Amino acid sequence: MKRNIKYKRILLKISGEGFGNENGRGIETENFITLAREIQKVSATGVELAIVVGGGNILRGAKFGSAGKSRVQADQVGMIATAINALLLQDILEGFTIRAHVISAIEIKNITEPFVLRNCLKYLKEKDVVIFAGGTGNPYFTTDTAAALRAIEIGADVMLKATRVDGVYTDDPLENASAKLYKKLTYMDVLNKQLGVMDLTAISLSMENKLPIIVFNMNKRENIKKAILGKPVGTYIGE
């Protein structure tokens, strides 16, 4: 199996909506369990796995801020929301006998660990799962940007962006049945076409550091495993 692995160190980005109900809201325990089962299969291959979680199922800072509230404080609450998802995921992973560490960009003493790159690399080499919470630790930056940043910092071979659809489309496939799936895109395609799959900062950062991105459907079994084996899954974004 190890000889067939294309990507040895992976950064998996999971939006908060992936932990919620069919509308992407709240906390659905079964979604955490389903994800843990998929991660267990991936861990069995011997890859090094880091995860960045969003918190949109609990609160979206940008949306809350646009309602006339303080954007800075809203984003701070959103960072706390990502920590909630990260801690729940850690607990369920450990129930599957997978060692996991929650590394937070914001200080949550006695509950999470602070971000120290040396420690993260040590955990990854030991085949422990590293779960990044708190985004970048700063307001106005999305968890997509945090995912690109962390992927580059840890030297990930690829960023896997888990979504609720099969990849990047010409239009929203949930609203437009005739929307077509892109199999492959360049970074400039995403920027020029304003496809909206990730924010511009995340795409630009990935392009500058030549970090490939695979956008795929997290609800299809073994898609994560297929991606690390280099099998065609979702949409590939690169040079």
Q: Per-residue pLDDT tens for 190-238? A: 999 989 889 999 999 999 999 999 999 998 989 999 999 999 999 999 9
- Radius of gyration, alpha carbons of the chain: 17
Helices assigned H by DSSP within the chain: 29-43, 61-66, 71-95, 117-125, 143-154, 187-193, 200-208, 223-228
Structurally, how many domains does the chain consist of?
1
- Whole-prediction pTM: 0.93
At 157, which CATH number? 3.40.1160.10
Q: Mind listing the pLDDT tens digit for each residue in 7-66? A: 999 999 999 999 999 888 999 999 999 999 999 999 999 999 999 999 999 987 566 656
3-state secondary structure of 65: helix
Q: Mind listing the pLDDT tens digit for each residue in 83-129? A: 999 999 999 999 999 999 999 999 999 999 999 999 999 999 999 99
Burial of 26 (0-12, 13-18, 19+ CB in 10 A): exposed
Q: Residue 13 belongs to what domain range?
A: 2-238
Q: What is the pLDDT of residue 70?
A: 83
**CA dist 76 → 53, 57, 202 (Å):** 15, 15, 19
**CA dist 176 → 1, 22, 214 (Å):** 39, 18, 22
Q: Mind listing the pLDDT tens digit for each residue in 118-177? A: 999 999 999 999 999 999 999 999 999 999 999 999 999 999 999 888 999 998 888 898
